[in-house]
Structure 1
């Protein structure tokens, strides 16, 4: 059974793919099945993915307001940050869990500096939210 971390990692991959080539529902379902994201975790992943897509402009505005070099983000960092900011703003998940997950995703999927950048941006957003 997949974990929430694996579901989030799949969502980041789907957001990345969507950013590059557009959205394809058949691909989304097939990708989640290949990643063995099923049942409760599939529902979780689809909720996150759909939530990010539905709030994309608001998420990007929030990121642009808190990040000077928004346009220089890699597509992977952007996908991780969009997912994390969505969870910070629209879910009941503990902030520490969201930040930890984002940092781990940055380490796994990004470059050597991604996790530091992601941590700094999310910290700035949380402080601005208070």
Structure 2
């Protein structure tokens, strides 16, 4: 599976698991039965580091709290921050661009600018 597809599948799983008691492996299989290391890493890594990621995002958000964000933007930001902070094989601008593209597909135009602004703080730190 291509990385863009893996990110989209991971987004669906993480969105589904946000405030749900569903088992992560069950949720992953519900989205796709295809095995992929990158997909597995994105989902499980984002979940494993969620508390740390949320604390980091709270520091970067201006005049917003993480809980006030729409669920799709919050999920995309969590996944992108995990990839920015805990993986090394994808250039940071590519990660940000992929997050923006996901936001355009699932959010609205203003959401994509917001996500870009937040994630740019991770690149420019």
Q: Same fold (TM over 0.5)?
A: yes
**2:102 corresponds to:** 105
How far apart, CA to CA, are the structure 2 residues paired with 1:26 and 1:125? 32
TM-score (ref. length: structure 1): 0.86
What aligned pairs does 1:23-34 form with structure 2 within 5 A after superposition? 23-24=22-23, 25-33=25-33
Structure 2 stretches lacking a partner, 5+ long: none
Q: CA deviation at 1:43?
A: 1.8
**2:52 corresponds to:** 58
Of Structure 1 and Structure 2, which has the larger fraction of its residues in helix? 1
Q: Is the 8 A contact 2:76 2:103 kept in 1?
A: yes
Structure 1 stretches lacking a partner, 5+ long: none
Q: CA deviation at 1:22?
A: 2.8
Q: Is the 8 A contact 2:53 2:78 kept in 1?
A: yes
Q: Is the 8 A contact 2:16 2:27 kept in 1?
A: no
TM-score (ref. length: structure 2): 0.89
Q: CA deviation at 1:5?
A: 0.5
How far apart, CA to CA, are the structure 2 residues paired with 1:47 and 1:101? 16
What's the Cα RMSD here? 1.3
Number of positions where the alignment pairs a residue of Structure 1 with one of Structure 2? 121
**1:14 corresponds to:** 13
How far apart, CA to CA, are the structure 1 residues paired with 2:111 and 2:3? 21
Post-superposition Cα deviations, 1:7-41, rounded to whole Å, max 9, x if no partner, equal: 101111111100032332223213122xxxx24xx
